Structure 1
């Protein structure tokens, strides 16, 4: 009887935390995919927000474009984003955490990075082993799932990724996990299956709203609520591409949309793709994002 009470209480707390995830002061930014940007190049890290740098990318491929069945390798530029630099930024800012994003769009040029497991068991074993070593070496706190191309069914993707997250969390290797879907039928089918089966071990949804065509403020808010419904109870983050692109750009009403979502207590945070592109605008949008979240 006592065990049942504890189990019920745990379930209630998990349910409560999921359904009350927004608003939050979480700011996240991808870094390392496009240039030799440094962590220290980002001039503003507001101590009142939780700040995540997301290293882009670790991919289970070799440098000569061969898939490795879950054996992940570093594909970001390590001279400026190495263990020493990561340890330094974390030592200087207690609110900074580091994630590593898995997969991405391409590997070595324009070759697509496919999710290609030989079997669920072998992929998970290889992924846990290779990522555990990488996470320890680079002082990483969490993982982000950003596969965009698939040679496996939604069911196999869900099982592989879900079991990977569970294993890394159960061992204490990571403290959080996120997913980064966007509005494409194939992509959504894979991530929604993952969410359906393993949403309880996923902490954040970095939905790529910049993958939409151009949006107005009202359209962005509507799309945000639609994805909040798809990923029910999630801590869903609003997003834009700092170098310009689709969705709702920061100069066209993004922050207005975020203020509206915040007033409705639906804003689970903000993330930016990416620090590499933000250099050109001197990281002004990073400051605006953090100011809005901290207010």
Structure 2
């Protein structure tokens, strides 16, 4: 009788393990798109939304700089720098009401502000965190947002300070129920990676998605190169959901015309496709959002 119970317990544990493994390996239907950075009048409703995907719009950008003609750092006091005329609080509410599968986030930092780079430039950890929590909570509540994305690309401080500032803000915003998800958007640059990997090592458990900028690799990237890059970043951000990406501005990386969707199909067949994101809706208007449709079709296919 004892051995029979032991055998049954073993079968139950084995079934749970197999079920868990299958769940972890299952590809995601997550589609994410940056929007609003280029002020070309793109609206949420312009972008095709497949009802079978989990769809995240990411407003670009919230930046802790002044909104004057010569922007300067504000030590964590964030301001809206996206096209808020076309992407307003009422439009956020409208697109979410019409599409229950849509969530909206804001991205912090970005590459530039005014005519210069947008630097991560805190006066101190404590003051930056306090200002960031206060200003971001206000923006998130006003716009009815669901999450944030960290996309600082230039730094005036060391990786440990960056990790503490961002990690503490994520901790507080999640603990207070202000956001339900967070992502980071690194790319393959030594300084960038040193900062984001320091954040990942200490606060990775708070980061739901890694929006790795694969389009920052050289233009003309091949399918095999892309898959190697994906494996490398999966190792760097071990345990993270690395999101495959391309740009519609033709800047670099593996383009849709050169095999991006072939690479994604290979990742999906291996259970490694955690989602797709595009930079950006602003650039996609010119081609009628052709690749947004194709991306979402691949994510929802049964292959």
In which range does the TM-score fall when normalised by the shorter chain?
Answer: over 0.9
Is 1:170 matched with 2:164? no
Distance in structure 2 (CA, Å) of the matches to 1:240 and 1:224: 13
Deviations 1:149-187 (A, max 9, x none): 000100000000000001000000000000000000000
> Which structure has the bigger radius of gyration?
2
Distance in structure 2 (CA, Å) of the matches to 1:260 and 1:242: 21
**Structure 1: runs of 5+ lacking an equivalent:** 1-15
Shift of 1:22: 5.5
Q: Which residue number corresponds to residue 45 of structure 1?
A: 49
SS in structure 1 at match of 2:107: strand
Please say if residues 51 and 97 of structure 1, whose CA atoms lie closer than 8 Å, have aligned partners that are also in contact: yes
Distance in structure 2 (CA, Å) of the matches to 1:38 and 1:56: 13
Deviations 1:213-255 (A, max 9, x none): 0310010011001101100011110000012121100111000
Please say if residues 25 and 271 of structure 2, whose CA atoms lie closer than 8 Å, have aligned partners that are also in contact: no
Shift of 1:20: 2.5
How large is the RMSD of aligned CA atoms in angstroms? 1.4
Paired residue for 2:143, among 132, 138, 143?
138
Is 1:32 matched with 2:36? yes
Q: In the comparison of the two structures, how many residue pairs are matched?
A: 278
Q: Which residue number corresponds to residue 203 of structure 1?
A: 208
SS in structure 1 at match of 2:32: strand
Distance in structure 2 (CA, Å) of the matches to 1:197 and 1:90: 33
Distance in structure 1 (CA, Å) of the matches to 2:254 and 2:282: 19
Q: Which residue number corresponds to residue 11 of structure 1?
A: none
Give the TM-score normalised by structure 1: 0.92
**Change over 3 Å in CA distance of 1:97–1:40 after alignment to 2:** same
Paired residue for 1:161, among 150, 163, 166?
166
Distance in structure 2 (CA, Å) of the matches to 1:21 and 1:193: 26
SS in structure 1 at match of 2:117: coil
Please say if residues 210 and 240 of structure 1, whose CA atoms lie closer than 8 Å, have aligned partners that are also in contact: yes
Please say if residues 113 and 149 of structure 1, whose CA atoms lie closer than 8 Å, have aligned partners that are also in contact: yes
Runs of 4+ in 1 over 6 A off after TM superposition: none
SS in structure 2 at match of 1:30: strand
Q: Which residue number corresponds to residue 127 of structure 1?
A: 132
**Change over 3 Å in CA distance of 1:160–1:22 after alignment to 2:** farther
Is 1:278 matched with 2:292? no
Please say if residues 22 and 235 of structure 1, whose CA atoms lie closer than 8 Å, have aligned partners that are also in contact: no
